[in-house]
Amino acid sequence: MRDETIPVLVVGAGLAGLSTAVFLGVHGVPSVVVERHPTLSVQPKARGQMPATMEALATAGVAERFVEAAPLGGETSVIVIAETVTGPVMKDFVMEMPDFSSLSPAPFAAASQERAERILAARAADLGAEIRFSTELESFRQDDEKVTAVLHEVSTGDRRTVTARYLVGADGHKGAVRDMAGVAVHGRLAPQSRRTMFLQFEADIAVALQGSAFGLFYLQNPALPARAATVVTTDYPGRYVLALPFGPDEEPDEERLVEIVRVACGVPGLDVKITDAAWSSSGDHITRVADTFQAGRVLLAGDAAHLMPPTGGQGGNAAVMDGYHLAWKLAAVLSGTAGPRLLESHDAERRPYAEALAEQQYANMIDRQSPHLRDGTEAEILDPMVGLFGYVCPAGAFVPEEGGAPLFEDPSRPSGRPGSRAPHVRLARGDETISARDLVGTGFVLLTAGGRDWPDEAGRAERALGVAVAVHAVGGADGPRDVDGRFPAAYGITEAGAVLVRPDGIVAWRCPGAAGPGDLERALRHVLALG
């Protein structure tokens, strides 16, 4: 049995695991990613990246690749609620993404998970990660200093012991890390335990797309198993995926599957070629959230931490953002510039959002696909603008202010308070229009309205703590210009004040007025759990 020592072991090479590896690499931390399957996913699965996710991907240098990975064949997407793919239709609409340009400088993207994983895997390798397929986590134990894991290489039968400072469980909703760590779960129970088959098939039903590049069909049909199913297009014209719930003991043969596809498409005798089938099971839950996202040196991300219906398309985005928000914290702790307690903020910040997101996705499922499950306990569906940009962490790695805040605020009227997303404000640098969000990268950023004491404060804090703080004086002689005059109000400071933004674009602290001796250093110590 061979031994090796690494900084971070990531279990699972899906969106969460690969994103964690990418963003760790951005911060200079190599990782080993192990995946029990022999390859990356060949199913399209989650599709679409929201602007906030694209901002994160831009810091890793892959945002443009995601834009280029969109399906060809049209500029629009269609969503249909119907009895079958070809009708009768209960509701349909061409999906046009909202204009979020006032909230983010980034675009939407429409990459499938199949293509997204490949982009992320290539970038993770570029940044120093090693990805090992056909390798499963057999067991692990942890103490105050490390995690010791036993890995089983399925193709050879070899076993090796890996010692890591931290382990990230990103092995999906069927993964073992959460259970091995002794973390319980909670959520909405399904009426009965079901498995979902994701059936890839080829057929000629392009007429139902109305010329769109992407189509999503929510089917409500008593002739289908469980009365409901979803058909979605893939990256390849003429190829589709049928997501179909089955009972726990059902094992349909190919002949029955072909007939189910014909019923779902509404075309008797349709020529159908089945190309792949994969099973997924959430057990007894429709939604499921881990009771904690941290167990000692084990941290959970993606579906291992939170499982939700796909209705709304935010599960994949949340998986990427879990890695984005976690990676800088791991890097800071590993480098010694932060205390280990910083990692407690992963649970404090990401779990409340996951809880809310799971309820939003469930409410969408009731509305679009399963009205028979409506019982009045569903959440009120949030305006997408609020849900995507308005989350305010109730606790975490920031200096809290008095008065508290709701879990979501109106991002069109941002508070700029610590724990919220740093607002997008248009700035100008020379002839180029940029965003305040573009100033966020891989380190801490201090945004000022021109107060003269802040550069000296940042220098003193950097010398005391070894933490680099980039200072940008908005409206100052050497800083970007405030195009619309919104910067001070959006961030809740005066012309003498400043705001500290974390590497992941979350407001960490703000000082409405002039700097006091040691204020910034004390704020950084609090954020980084030093002392």
Active site amino acids: 218
Contact between 240 and 233 under an 8 Å Cβ cutoff? The reply is yes
Contact between 202 and 273 under an 8 Å Cβ cutoff? The reply is yes
The full DSSP string for 256-319 is HHHHHHHHHHT-TT---EEEEEEEEE-TTBSSEEES-SEETTEEE-GGGTEE--STTS-HHHHH
> What is the C-alpha separation between 36 and 153, in angstroms, rounded?
9
> What is the C-alpha separation between 385 and 287, in angstroms, rounded?
23
**Paired residues of 281 in beta bridges:** 195
The full DSSP string for 192-234 is S--EEEEEEEE---GGGGTT-SEEEEEEE-TTSGGGEEEEEE-
**Residue 248 CA neighbour count, 13 Å, CB half:** 8
Query: Measuring CA to CA, which residue among 226, 215, 208, 210 is closest to residue 265?
Result: 208
> What is the C-alpha separation between 338 and 332, in angstroms, rounded?
5
3-state secondary structure 27-44: CCCCEEEECCCCCCCCCC
* Tokens 């509404």, residue located: 266
Tokens representing residue 358 in the block = 């799971």
Distances (CA, A) of 256 to 83, 158, 194, 227, 253: 19, 40, 18, 16, 5
* Tokens 């893939």, residue located: 234
**Cis-peptide into 237, omega within 30 deg:** no
> What is the C-alpha separation between 293 and 396, in angstroms, rounded?
13
Contact between 94 and 78 under an 8 Å Cβ cutoff? The reply is yes
Q: For residue 213, how many other CB atoms are within 10 A of its CB?
A: 18
**Paired residues of 433 in beta bridges:** 428
